[in-house]
Amino acid sequence: MESKRIAAEKAVESIKDGMIVGLGTGSTAYYAIQKIGQRVKDGLSVKAIATSKQSEELAIDLNIPMISFTELEEIDVTIDGADEVDGEWNLIKGGGGALLREKIVAAASKLLIVVVDESKVVPVLGRFPLPVEIVPFGFEMTVRKLKKLGAEPVIRREDHQIFVTDNGNYIADCHFESIPEPEKLHTMLNLIPGIVDHGLFIGMAGQVIVGSTDGSVRVLSK
């Protein structure tokens, strides 16, 4: 966790006065939000939009001014984590269950900074199960269609109940042996009715910052 904290705090250095900032979700984003809160306390003037209720509540607790999409045209920078990142900066996200809102915010951002520890950097995506957000209606049929793509989908559960996203949907965690062609899978998933969105983020990352266990931080280049 220390490597994530160091990398997240490095990413926060990119935030300047007057910016609109996207706040990610998950353990890495937690450290970034904490650091932004500290900088706001020290006089930084920003407004933020969160990718989950959890992140929004944390930001409010830290007195970070919040803004809604009705009040903005675009977001200057978003800082978020990832479950995997390959050499082309394609990502798997959604382990925290907020992939849809994360993708909406990322797509509205001038710059998406992805912060990970070194264990998340992989040659080929797919070791981490791909989260796919699906509507509850007819989800059994959607799961069958996911199986036809070569996945082993498992409906996510929490406390023995089906996990429900902030948007009222389910998540199918799809186990693939590997995802050597993420762009192709991205397109195929988008064609299945019942899928709201999925955790493949293709060509969205503008910067990747990696924290190492020795305390060092490096910015990846393609």
Instruction: Establish whether 9 is a catalytic residue.
Output: no
pTM recorded for the entire structure: 0.94
- Residues in a beta bridge with 145: none
What is the rounded average pLDDT for all residues in the chain? Answer: 96
pLDDT band at residue 2 using 50, 70 and 90 as cut-offs: confident
Query: Is 90 exceeded by the pLDDT of residue 60?
Result: yes
Structural domains in the chain plus CATH codes: 2-121+202-213 (3.40.50.1360), 130-198 (3.30.70.260)
- What is the C-alpha to C-alpha distance for residues 124 and 22, in angstroms, rounded to an integer? 27
pLDDT of residue 221: 76
pLDDT for residue 37 is more than 80: yes
Q: Is the pLDDT of residue 1 over 90?
A: no
- Options 71, 102, 177, 183, the catalytic residue: 102
Cα–Cα separations (whole angstroms), residue 25 to 30, 31, 218: 7, 10, 22
Containing 220, the helix (H) or strand (E) segment is: none
**Residue 200 has what pLDDT?**
98
Q: What is the pLDDT of residue 151?
A: 97
Neighbours of 192 (CB within 10 A): 16
At residue 222 the predicted structure's pLDDT band, cuts being 50, 70 and 90, is low
Least confident of 2-11, 28-37, 91-100, 202-211: 2-11
Answer for the pair 116, 210: CB distance below 8 angstroms, yes or no: yes
